[in-house]
Chain A
């Protein structure tokens, strides 16, 4: 690895003292919330907390960049903290055991006790050399930005959302202090995770995120919520077991638990074990069930799980590992599971009419593409993967928030009920529209990444992935287009609705929309300043993936999407026209809402989207795709372990 190990001095020391703050501030806030019973005070505390987290992140990044933007390896000897973390691991295990016993589940107990025992045994029997425990590099910085800003604004959004949520769901017990604690704790754990260089440290934060997501999914405590939360728990614990096994293997075979050493000397077994952890956390097949079930929780937790945290942790780990995936069996396993997930989840998304379900499937599908890219492990694919991750974070967070706000306003998150949203609640429709466009349309970054990914898949000679991306992008287009078309129907509403979205929710959503548009306009700069440095760090040196001619193309595309419609708006406005009713076979009832039915009565016109349920429904595709992915995984494990022994 061509990385520079630089001892911190001068300004570096500031950075070092700041990391505990970044992790600590959200944790302190999380501890405070249970004591703040007044909802107004709590709201202000959340705003202040999110503001502090964001400011701290900005200060941290500025100090890191002004310090030369070098890769820093920090914290050589940390015995006390190590012991604290061991205690933390044991606490988490006890919590899981307690909850499992309370709800009578066996599997989580076995998995949790197994992995914690394995880890503790390893820690106490193997003498590990001292090494850096934390790293700061461009990848960390990018993740910090995502966590602090996307995560922070989701917290701000939550304040308003939860008020509306509890007005609608009287049956759910109001546990808001707990919910906010979990949100901030999640941010703290994510900061810890992305800074960690020592696998043992990373494992600790990894487990925290698993447990918090378990607690958040179970927020409503209904039977469904409890079932889904345990599903999420055992799947993520399985990944955690893989993580622990990877650590144990590294410790016994190579005598080190550094993430970087996994890349250089680890060999395939620990690599695959860690990849398993990444796959479960990023909800790839056969483990995608947990993320789909996670929607029972209030929307902000979905927004957080899907965009800034949780699944991004899985993807983050896989991108970190990606240079080691190139050209070996583990890489093939990871990329084929990713590719399969991409196409299968996008097909299943077609058959959904619940807005949040479509979003969940699309997350799984998009993460599949990212994982596929990471699994190939060459510069171009990793470049594309990072880009996809950035765009996915912003647009998915925005989409979840707007669907959540729409649900509070309309009382439904069914896409069918969003017919003509542009007339009824224009602001939410615009935000949702920008989010959807960001997910698949030119010139938004997703498409550029897809373009790069396709080229890289061809270059790496991976035939199956080329087919997956060709078919998968077609199915992706279908489900987004029909949603977008539903929003843009100009239909006079039957009853007017009152937009109950609160100001703080709009602040967050407008922020996301602005970021989305800016990312699009500044795409070349994002590539130059953030993505290229990351790829350079991961691969030593790299050529710029995005050639200049592509940038020209980008400019043309920007013109076509933003400027053409605006110009056309002004041109077409000048033409005088007379508005007439739509064609309904001559049986219109005066306005566009009713027609005369065969009994001569007035019938309301209802237009439905097309869901192809019998062709692309979950009940046809879910089981086969899970079996296929599980087979790939099991076969891969057999081959890799067999090859190593």
Chain B
């Protein structure tokens, strides 16, 4: 079964991610009372990117971006193979490191600022992701994803605070406003396109596909909160993911981008309040 999951992830995740992106665009357009693109627009975009002539600012960016993609796929595959959640998160950070290196390798002002902000964003969300892993460990007695999904009750019953915190900080990972400081889906910010300013054609396409893998990986972690040993919990988990994704889109459209200080402090405080107290209670009663 695990092998099936892994293969499904590796093969289907980019398609699922692109579809989600398409849905995202449609919903966002409706919220802004415009027509917006079709559902398959992300696929056309990718096709276009791949068809472009290869131009680059240096010789390492593509290599670093491809490493980002592959390491992200490894992290996701480990999650869906039921491996250690903490390791998955560590590898996820390592993958992100490659993206930062790719952006700063070009010595470009906008990309460098984007890379710096990406580092800051990592610093903002990392404490909570670690606490989420600790929460699963306290709740189910294991860091192994395979054990977590076999629990008798859903983990969310024990860790609602961590779920709320994770929803809050994952806006960073989804690159949603108000936390899309380093780069956003829309090229109209003060830093042009931040992190991805110097990426074009194939390089940008690779980065976009990696982001799709990442979206699915994050939704997988959200599923862990819900899934237990019963079959219907899977359906509940998928529904919950849909709701969470919708909420992120809603938040994206309702909020303006914040300054970095607000981002860092709000994430850290939410981590401390929602995550910390949740962990404390778990430690006391488990």
Q: Which residues of B contact A482 (CB under 8 A)?
A: 116, 119
Interface of B is mostly: helix
Residue pair B122, A553 in contact (C-beta under 8 Å): no
A474 and B122 within 8 A (CB) = yes
Q: Could you tell me which residues of chain A, from 171 to 191, have a CB within 8 Å of some CB in chain B?
A: none
Q: How far is the CA of A172 from the CA of B56 in the complex (A)?
A: 48
Bound state CA distance, A57 and B36, in angstroms?
A: 73
Contact B91 A583 (CB under 8 A): no
Q: A447-B90, A455-B86, A560-B94 are in contact. List 8 more A-B contacts (CB 8 A).
A: A442-B90, A442-B91, A466-B131, A471-B127, A482-B116, A484-B97, A553-B78, A578-B54
- A interface, how many residues as a size bin? 35 or more
Q: Once the chains bind, are A481 and B100 in contact (CB under 8 Å)?
A: yes
The contact of B134 among A458, A553, A559, by CB within 8 Å, is A458
B24 at the interface (CB under 8 A from A): no
Measured between beta carbons, the chain A residues less than 8 angstroms from B58 are 490, 579
A529 / chain B contacts, CB cutoff of 8 Å: none
Bitwise interface map of A from 599 to 631 toward B, beta carbon under 8 Å scored 1, else 0: 000000101011000010000000000000000
What string of 1s and 0s marks CB contacts (under 8 Å) between A394-421 and chain B? 0000000000000000000000000110
**B107 at the binding interface (Cβ < 8 Å):** yes
With contact pairs A451-B90, A477-B123 given, residues A466 and B78 touching in the complex (Cβ less than 8 Å): no
A478 contacts chain B at the CB level, 8 A cutoff: yes
Task: Please give the distance in Å from B137's CB to the nearest CB on chain A.
Answer: 6
Contact B131 A481 (CB under 8 A): no
A451: B residues at CB distance < 8 A = 86-87, 90
Contact B108 A553 (CB under 8 A): no
Q: Any chain B CB within 8 A of the CB of A557?
A: yes
**Pair B198/A582 contact, Cβ less than 8 Å:** yes
- Between-chain CB contacts (< 8 Å), 15 pairs: A451-B90, A458-B283, A461-B283, A463-B280, A473-B130, A474-B124, A488-B104, A489-B105, A489-B112, A490-B59, A553-B84, A561-B94, A569-B63, A583-B192, A584-B109
Contact status A607-B112, CB under 8 Å: yes
Q: Decide yes or no whether A10 CB sits under 8 A from chain B.
A: no
B93 contacts the other chain (Cβ, under 8 Å)?
yes
**From residue A448, how far is it (CB to closest CB) to chain B in Å?**
9
Is B120's beta carbon under 8 Å from chain A?
Answer: yes
List the B side residues contacting A481 at CB < 8 Å. 97, 100, 119, 122
Give the nearest-CB partner of A478 in chain B.
Answer: B123
- Set of chain B residues within 8 Å of A564, measured between Cβ atoms: 67, 70-71, 74
Chain B contacts to A: CB under 8 angstroms? 53-60, 62-64, 66-67, 70-71, 74, 78, 83-84, 86-87, 90-91, 93-94, 97-98, 100-101, 104-112, 115-116, 119-120, 122-124, 126-128, 130-131, 134, 137-138, 143-144, 192, 197-198, 202, 261, 268, 271-272, 276, 279-280, 283
A582 near B101 with CB under 8 A, answer no
* Residue A571 interfacial (CB < 8 Å): yes
Among residues of B, the one whose C-beta sits closest to the C-beta of A593 is B107
Contact of A478 with B120 at beta-carbon distance under 8 Å, contacts A553-B87, A560-B70, A572-B66 already known: yes
Residues of B close to A580: CB separation below 8 A? 55-57
A15 to chain B, nearest CB (A): 41
A489 to chain B: which residues have CB within 8 Å?
Answer: 104-107, 112
A120 at the interface (CB under 8 A from B): no
From residue 5 to 21 of chain A, which have CB atoms closer than 8 A to chain B?
none
Q: B107–A575 contact, CB under 8 A?
A: no
A517 at interface by CB-CB < 8 Å: no
Q: Is A576 an interface residue (CB 8 A)?
A: yes
A607 touches B91 (CB 8 A): no
Nearest-Cβ distance from residue B199 to partner chain A, whole angstroms: 11
Distance of B87 from chain A, by nearest CB (Å): 5
Nearest 7 pairs of A and B residues by beta carbon = A474-B126, A582-B108, A577-B54, A485-B104, A491-B107, A470-B127, A568-B66
The complex places the Cα of A568 from the Cα of B56 at a distance, in Å, of: 16
- What residue of chain A has the Cβ atom nearest to residue B81's Cβ? A556
Question: Nearest chain A CB to B161's CB is how many angstroms away?
Answer: 14
Report A260 CB to chain B, min CB distance, Å. 34
Which residues from chain B contact A607 at a C-beta distance below 8 Å? 107, 109, 112
Which residues of chain A are near B64, meaning CB under 8 Å? 565
Whole-angstrom distance between the alpha carbons of A85 and B138 in the complex? 52
Residue from the list B91, B134, B271 in contact with A557, Cβ < 8 A = B91
Give Cα A466 to B143, complex, Å.
15
Question: Whole-angstrom distance between the alpha carbons of A473 and B133 in the complex?
Answer: 14
Which residues in B have their C-beta under 8 angstroms from that of A577? 54-56, 59, 62
Q: Is the CB of A575 within 8 A of B116?
A: no
**Distance between B214 CB and nearest chain A CB, rounded to angstroms:** 15
Contact A490 B107 (CB under 8 A): yes
Complex contact A474–B55 (CB within 8 A)? no
Whether A575 pairs with B97 at a CB distance below 8 angstroms is no
Using Cβ atoms and an 8 Å threshold, which residues of chain B touch A475?
123
Instruction: Answer whether residue A642 sits at the interface, using C-beta atoms and an 8 A cutoff.
Output: no
> Could you give, for residues 561-599 of chain A, a 1 whenever the CB lies within 8 Å of some chain B CB and a 0 otherwise?
100110011011101111111111000000010000000
Residues on B with C-beta less than 8 A from A419 are 107
Q: Which A31-45 residues have a C-beta within 8 angstroms of B? A: none
A550 within 8 A of B: yes
- CB of A253 within 8 A of chain B? no
Contact partner of A583 (CB less than 8 A), chosen from B108, B127, B202, is: B108
Q: How long is the Cα–Cα vector from A141 to B52 in the complex, in angstroms?
A: 60
A69 in contact (CB, < 8 A): no
B271: chain A residues at CB < 8 Å are 470-471
Chain B's nearest CB lies how many Å from the CB of A329? 20
Is A232 located at the chain interface by the 8 A CB criterion? no
Q: Is the CB of B56 within 8 A of A578?
A: yes
